[in-house]
Amino acid sequence: MVVVHETRASRVLLGAGARLRVPSEVERVGASRVLVVATSSAAAAGDEVVAGLRERAVARFDRPVVHTPVAVTEEAMALVQAHDVDAVVTIGGGSAVGLGKAVVARAGVAHVAVPTTYAGSEVTPVLGEIRDGVKQTRRDPVLLPTTVVYDVELTLGLPAGLTLTSAVNALAHAVEALWAPNPTPVTDALATEACRLLLAALPTVLDEPGDVAARSALQQGAWLAGSCLATAQMGLHHQLAHALGGAFDLPHAELHTMLLAHVVRHNLPHAPAAAQRLAELVAGDPADAIAGLAASYPGPRRLRDLGVPEDGLAAVAERVASAPYPNPGPTGAPAVLELLRAAW
């Protein structure tokens, strides 16, 4: 077998206070007319960046929406055109970064991404957009942000529920990379280290949300996990999250959190190398360890808690089984339905 590993260059800054370097990073890419996208949760950081950019901050947008609806992108594009923007700075979770990618796809400008969650979109060349209720996904190297700035200080206030679901979302990228059909020594190393960082740091952060070292470990794990998502083929876990999310309009990160332990239990008997790596990282059974993490904060635990009807599961199982993503465990409709029932 011939292994192919392709990496695209993104410049990455990592460290407490790194957001203060955004203006010099904008200068480095030669931009002078910047659209600053900052979610309301990142308003203060947005203010800092705008102040640092001074006259180079020509427009601001603060309403990115999950799954990047085209109508919202068009609002941002009106600013891009009106102000002749040549770079976008995005500060926020995957929704803000996604909007930046959507602007890049249309205007070809530079993109400095400053993520404040663990979603990992900032290191992938992938964009999902919603048009007329239909999600379309594209993969193109130009979508990879020019520069990524990881500043742990922007994550210290991430509420416990979001911290848990976002970190388990990241863990899912790494776990699926461990059993992907196209592993390379690089994705194996990234995925193993991502799992180690995320599994070790998450309990500490849930206990002590302001623990800077543990928060930093989570952010580094999210970076590595996102890098796995960029290159490894995702399997049943991501397919189920997409299929359920699309069918019942469910929150992305919560879904990952309630599904991952079930998919791990389903797949590990068929993925011995992944099973061994995960078992070395947790004391005991990996599925139990992930289920324990998912249960460590009050919130919706089961698909039924999100309002998924039990009689809707069979149709999802059929759809998944009709065109399965590559996956080590069984992907026939009966097996998938059994998994979904357990998560329900």
Q: Which H/E stretch holds residue 29?
A: none
Q: Say whether residue 154 binds ligand NAD (CB under 6 A).
A: yes
* Cα 225 to Cα 177: distance, rounded to the nearest angstrom: 8
Kindly state the smallest distance separating residue 137's Cβ from ligand NAD, in Å. Answer: 8
Among 21, 60, 67, 341, binds ligand NAD (CB under 6 A): 67
Contact pick of 128, 183, 286, 329 for ligand NAD (by CB under 6 A): 128
> What's the Cα-to-Cα distance from 114 to each of 60, 89, 120, rounded to whole Å?
15, 7, 11
Determine if 93 is a binding residue for ligand NAD (CB under 6 A). yes
- Residue 155 is a binding residue for ligand NAD (CB under 6 A): yes
Residues numbered 285 to 344 that lie near ligand NAD (CB under 6 A) are none
Q: Which helix (H) or strand (E) holds 315?
A: helix 313-322
Q: Which stretch binds ligand NAD (CB under 6 A): 87-95, 183-191, 270-278, 316-324?
A: 87-95
Query: Pick from 23, 46, 92, 329: which binds ligand NAD (CB under 6 A)?
Result: 92
Helix (H) or strand (E) holding 242: helix 236-248
Q: Which is nearer to ligand NAD, 80 or 97 (by Cβ)? A: 97
* Binding status of residue 168 toward ligand NAD by CB under 6 A: no
- Which residues make Cβ contacts (< 8 Å) with residue 133, sequence separation at least 6? none
* Angle formed by the axes of helices 185-207 and 272-281, nearest 10°: 40
Q: Which region among 116-124, 183-191, 302-310, 336-344 touches ligand NAD (by CB under 6 A)?
A: 116-124
**How far is it, in rounded angstroms, from Cα 114 to Cα 50?**
13
Determine the Cα–Cα distance for residues 211 and 156; give it in Å rounded to an integer. Answer: 8
Q: Which residues bind ligand NAD (CB under 6 A)?
A: 39-41, 66-67, 92-96, 98, 116-117, 119-121, 124, 126-128, 154-155, 157-158, 162, 166, 229, 252-253
